[in-house]
Structure 1
Amino acid sequence: MHTAEAHIATERPSRYLVQLCKHFDNKGRHLVHRPRAHALPDVPADQIHAEWTDSDGLIRLPWGQCTLRATPGLLRVRVEAEDRENLGRLQDLVTTHIGRFSRRDPLRVEWQPSP
């Protein structure tokens, strides 16, 4: 299993956690309605699962999963996949969405391999 983590400094970690999970929970439309440069496959809505609270979130996709935790001043994101290609997809997907959600006050997402 390949994993990577990002610790994203923000004054509103819970807001971004919830927004990201709600977005993925929206039946996967965001994955199939816009072709992306990294060629994400069409994913049926029943293969996407998201659950969350204000402090913790889990997003499962066919190629891996993303766990999120909001702590004061920090959004912790961990992605896991069976191979490096799918790990890169997840990292790109999360980074792109965080970038879009934080346009007014851009957040910095830097990935590190997990131990």
Structure 2
Amino acid sequence: MLTDQGRFETPNASRYLQQLCKHFAHKVPVDHDETRGTVALGMGPATLQATENTLTAEVTAPDAADLAEARDIIDRHLARFAFREAFEAMDWQSATA
């Protein structure tokens, strides 16, 4: 499995985490609270974490194409909620050794 980690500096991290999780829960299993969420995306799990000023996401998938799709899913949905901050995409880094 491949893993990437994304980061978005925002004072609204907890709010966005909760909005994303509630939105995804309409289609896939989700477990969340104010600071942590797990979303069962089709290609693999996505784990979200919120601190006071940062929202992070870790996505896992079996191959590079699915990993790119998982990143895109998070970015597209987050863009809907963070439009006031001119959000375009998380700063993604490979966590796979």
Q: TM-score, normalised by structure 2?
A: 0.92
Structure 1 residues 32-77: Cα deviation after superposition (integer angstroms, max 9, x where no partner): xxxxxxxxxxxxxxxx211100000000122111001111100011
Provide structure 2 residue ranges, at least 5 long, that are not aligned to the other structure.
Answer: none
Q: Which has the larger radius of gyration?
A: 1
Who is 1:56 aligned against? 36
Please state if 1:109 is matched with 2:78: no
Who is 1:43 aligned against? none
Which is richer in strand? 2
The number of residues matched between the two structures is 95
Who is 1:45 aligned against? none
1:67-82 matched pairs, under 5 angstroms: 67-82=47-62
Q: SS of 1:72's equivalent?
A: coil
Measured after TM superposition, the shift of residue 106 of structure 1 is 2.0
Measured after TM superposition, the shift of residue 102 of structure 1 is 1.0
What is the RMSD of the two structures over their aligned residues, measured on CA atoms?
Answer: 1.1
Runs of 4+ in structure 1 deviating by more than 6 angstroms, as ranges, are none
Cα distance in 2 for partners of 1:111, 1:4 equals 7
Q: SS of 2:30's equivalent?
A: strand
Provide structure 1 residue ranges, at least 5 long, that are not aligned to the other structure.
Answer: 29-47
Cα distance in 1 for partners of 2:15, 2:93 equals 23
Who is 2:24 aligned against? 24
